[in-house]
Chain A
Amino acid sequence: MPSNVAFDATDIVLSIVKIAVILGLWLNVTPIMVWVERRGSALIQDRPGPNRVGPFGLLQSFADALKFILKEDIIPAQAHKWLYTLAPTFGLIPALTTIAVVPWGRAFVIPEMHILGRTLFEGGRVFNPIIADVNAGILVIFALASLGVYGITIAGWSSSNKYSMFGAIRASAQMISYELSLTLAAVSVLLVAGSLRLTDVVAQQSDYYFVLFGFLKLPAWNIASPAMWLSFIIFFVSAFAETNRLPFDFAEAEAELVAGYHTEYSSMKFALFFMAEYMAMATMSAVITTLYLGGWDIPWYNEPATFFGFLLSFLAFMAKVSFLMFIFVWVRWTIPRLKYDILMRIGWKFFLPLAILNIVIVAAFIAGGWL
């Protein structure tokens, strides 16, 4: 909290550096992921995929981005102009800001630095690689995730197109339904960690469950504990529904709804929806990593509290996030779309009771002292 702890100009500079690093990474997620998606789908479907622009088609995304910028920006005559223009931003902002409460590396002590005889950093200052370490971190994530609905709903409504409207209604109903299971599944993680702060959740997971003969150790990642498997499965599947990815991409469902809520969008406004989808995916992967895969923790290795240790832990975090994002792509091109009634039935009649049951079980385990 700013008023309790001394907060000076250096802190502000460090905050800006953190925001710049994460913003830069997250903005670049979309071009990279579009390439991974297209090449990955080609791999799965046994065809070459984009391979003309640059080595392995790597520059294809830049060509696409340029095309998006140069295309004509069309606003339908019947559309509500203000909301039609603002809707892509409503979708993008929650996806971008959620990452602020996720820790992305081990905290380290900044060494004393002198440049031209002036002390740049005094000794003992700790660099905590998280933008906002609030004591309600996980709630902030769900608060912002619940706002993702507005981008889609407003886009669908303001377009004055029945397909957009149907897409928007489907997508919002789906997101609201799966938000419940998502939140309830995460409760068991919070019960184990005993805190809503995500740095505490990661710190708890960087320990070991048991040590056998001094060398056989099991990292205390939540995914390693059988009691958390149910919660992990519910959270992981709900994350697909929450990010509107196949097999739950009813917002778009090309075969039925033309392109769903963004049917009427063109040019860079359409690209913003695209970016929002991939950023939401990246953020969801980061949240899953933090809650279940030990965050930035490297198993069987004690990262030193130096810049080197931070760098290693940051790379571990990015590796886990990338792996999860690849699974998102993999699932998309492997599992076909479900029927809408099946989606709703799974959400309300299967996942929701299961998530509540899971909380009771985990709470009983904790009360019994087994976790």
Chain B
Amino acid sequence: MEYAIFFLFAAVAVIFALVVILHRNPVVGALSLVASFFALAVMYVLLEAPFLAALQVIVYAGAIMVLFLFVIMLLNLSHAPEPSTRPIQQFLGYTSSAAFLIGLIYYISKYAVTTSPTGVFQADARTIGIRMFEAYVFPFEMVSILLLAAIVGALYLSGRALPAASSSEVGK
């Protein structure tokens, strides 16, 4: 039963991931990515971590992809921009992807087979919260500062792009 669900949703995730990179329409691509994230969330449920599944959907499908979709729709990109045809770019693209793929296969085959997880797996809100605010509090705070810096930077750039708007009009 669990295997059947796993393979079904693994296939869904892979197929929609392929649609993301192969389809010409960027809106379809963005929506396929949402479907792929959903299939990943099912994987978390199968791993008995519904908390992570819910977070996966909230953060990726509910927040990030909505913004992506907005940008695509507002810029009115009905077709993906033509891929660059300069040979050096194509060469670099193909080699780096190939290197990444080889590395991925190497590490998965090295670790997935020999080491299986031991101990009780817990991924509820309490355990993750305690971990995050005790053992990993420094990286956690660093990430929040990074996000804050990104928000301030985005605001600064968007404000500079509109020189006509006087400071009194901003915020209305």
Contact = CB atoms under 8 A, between A and B. Distances in A.
Contact of A135 (B50, B57, B73): B50
A1 B47 CA distance: 10
B12 interface: no
Interface string B48-79: 10110111011001110010011001100000
B10 interface: no
B51 A1 contact: no
A172 B58 CA distance: 15
A143 interface: yes
Nearest to A173: B70
B58 A143 contact: yes
Given A146-B58, A146-B63, A196 B51 contact: yes
Given A83-B27, A153-B73, A146 B51 contact: no
A218 interface: no
B61 A136 contact: no
Contacts of A146: 57-58, 61-63, 66
A83 B54 contact: no
B31 A3 contact: no
Nearest to A145: B62
B98 interface: no
B166 to A, nearest CB: 18
B74 to A, nearest CB: 8
Contact of A153 (B54, B57, B69): B69
B39 interface: no
B172 interface: yes
A176 interface: yes
Given A83-B28, A176-B66, A136 B50 contact: yes
Nearest to B74: A169
B66 A136 contact: no
Contacts of A80: 25, 27
Given A83-B28, A154-B31, A341 B172 contact: yes
A149 B51 CA distance: 22
B141 interface: no
B14 to A, nearest CB: 20
B101 to A, nearest CB: 31
B34 interface: yes
Interface in B115-140: 124-125
Name the residue in A3, A82, A135 with the highest tally of chain B Cβ atoms < 10 Å from its Cβ: A135
Interface in A1-29: 1-3
Given A3-B48, A341-B172, A196 B25 contact: no
Contact of B50 (A134, A142, A149): A134
Nearest to B66: A149
Contacts of A150: 31, 34, 66, 69
A11 to B, nearest CB: 12
In this complex, the interface size class of chain A, counting residues with CB under 8 Å from chain B, is 20 to 34
A143 B55 CA distance: 7
A250 to B, nearest CB: 16
A157 B73 contact: yes
Contacts of B31: 83, 150, 154
Contacts of B124: 135-136
Contacts of B34: 150
B126 to A, nearest CB: 9
Nearest to A82: B28
A196 B66 contact: no
B66 A140 contact: no
Given A80-B25, A146-B57, A150-B34, A140 B50 contact: yes
Nearest to B41: A143
A200 to B, nearest CB: 12
B32 to A, nearest CB: 11
A139 interface: yes
A178 B55 CA distance: 18
A354 to B, nearest CB: 19
A147 interface: yes
A140 B73 CA distance: 27
Given A80-B25, A136-B50, A196 B73 contact: no
A139 B58 contact: yes
Contacts of A149: 62, 66
B62 A143 contact: yes
B61 A147 contact: yes
19 contacts: A1-B48, A3-B2, A3-B48, A83-B28, A135-B50, A135-B125, A136-B50, A136-B125, A139-B54, A143-B58, A144-B57, A146-B63, A149-B62, A150-B31, A150-B66, A150-B69, A154-B27, A157-B27, A176-B66
Interface of B: 2, 25, 27-28, 31, 34, 48, 50-51, 53-55, 57-58, 61-63, 66, 69-70, 73-74, 124-125, 172
Given A83-B31, A139-B58, 14 more contacts: A3-B48, A80-B25, A135-B125, A136-B51, A139-B54, A146-B61, A146-B62, A146-B66, A150-B69, A153-B66, A153-B73, A196-B51, A196-B125, A341-B172
